[in-house]
Amino acid sequence: MLGRADSGDALWGEGVGWGEAWPAPAKLNLMLRVVGRRADGYHELQTVFQLIDRCDRLWIDVRDDGRIRRVGDLEGVPEQADLTVRAALALRQASGCALGADIRCEKHLPMGGGLGGGSSDAATTLVALNALWSAGLSEDELAEIALPLGADVPVFIRGRAAWAEGVGERLDPVELPEPWYLVLTPACSVSTKDVFSHPDLTRDSKLITLADFMHGDTVNDCLPVVRREYPEVRSALGLLDPWGGRLTGTGACVFAAFPSESEASAALGRMPAELGGFVARGRNRSPLLDRVAAQTAV
């Protein structure tokens, strides 16, 4: 979990006056195929999600007055557009709960990086408030609420590495190796909407199986478009060429897998000082599952 800006040892923990934080882990897309386009404009995908132990942190304080409030600013994101606020409002409507919440998010994951930070924040909000409000919704019910918030939100609700199809909502848990990843964070934000609307995007990849992926089929169909349109991503990928660098989602983050933390950290040390990056461990189970178990045991 080592990074250039921080040691990673405070990715979740105690907040002053707020109790214990709720983790919102990042994900990597280990492959991404666009296999079709639906009549409603959404794309049919195949992808493999793996979580990593780099997390945003959320602190949530229950309110008796029913008000949902974001505490603190998020640059470029108005409060009512914030996915944590939208998630809380969606849960309150679905559950009929009369309570509210103050939500504070400490960001460690870049926006527009393909790590799913906003989606993970939304999922953590749903899971945490379901417990704190004693709403009693099942995992399936939370995943149903989650999908309109974003195609990646359900995988964070489930909290397990997964083979995914559809728009990313049809999930089958998988057990994957848990290597150490070097993740580079180019100084740009990639628009998922722009990538998926690009005329040169491949939209007719053939379907593969999990076995195909496990035997090395790790194509990301978004890569040619992103490499062409975003020179910062193209440059970062070139730096990772010796280790088989890949793009996560539509980017901008790129990554490579290593068998040990020391090897990943050594590779990070060889990167240009001005390029952001961090080392994190792949995980098949989200720390959010343990956090909610601890909460419900209280």
The answer on whether 72 is annotated among ligand-binding residues is no
Q: Is 64 a catalytic residue?
A: no
The answer on whether 210 is annotated among ligand-binding residues is no
The answer on whether 115 is annotated among ligand-binding residues is yes
The answer on whether 138 is annotated among ligand-binding residues is no
The answer on whether 191 is annotated among ligand-binding residues is no
Annotated catalytic residue: which of 6, 27, 204, 217? Answer: 27
Beta bridge partners of 106: 57
The answer on whether 120 is annotated among ligand-binding residues is yes
The answer on whether 116 is annotated among ligand-binding residues is yes
CA distance from start to end of the chain: 29
Q: Is 152 a catalytic residue?
A: yes
* DSSP SS3 for 280: strand
Q: Which residues of 28-65 are buried (b: 16+ CB within 10 A; e: fewer)?
A: bbbbbbbbeeeeeeebbbbbbbbbbbbbbbbbbbeeee
The answer on whether 119 is annotated among ligand-binding residues is yes
Annotated catalytic residue: which of 53, 56, 121, 152? Answer: 152
The answer on whether 15 is annotated among ligand-binding residues is no
What is the sign of the dihedral through the CA atoms of 140, 121, 113 and 182?
A: negative
Comparing CA positions, the residue from 266, 229, 258, 196 lying closest to residue 45 is 196
Question: Which amino acid type is present at position 256?
Answer: A
Strands (E) in 64-179, as ranges, are 68-70, 100-106, 162-166, 170-173
Q: Binding site for ATP: residue ranges?
A: 110-120
Q: Binding site: residue ranges?
A: 110-120
Active-site positions?
Answer: 27, 152
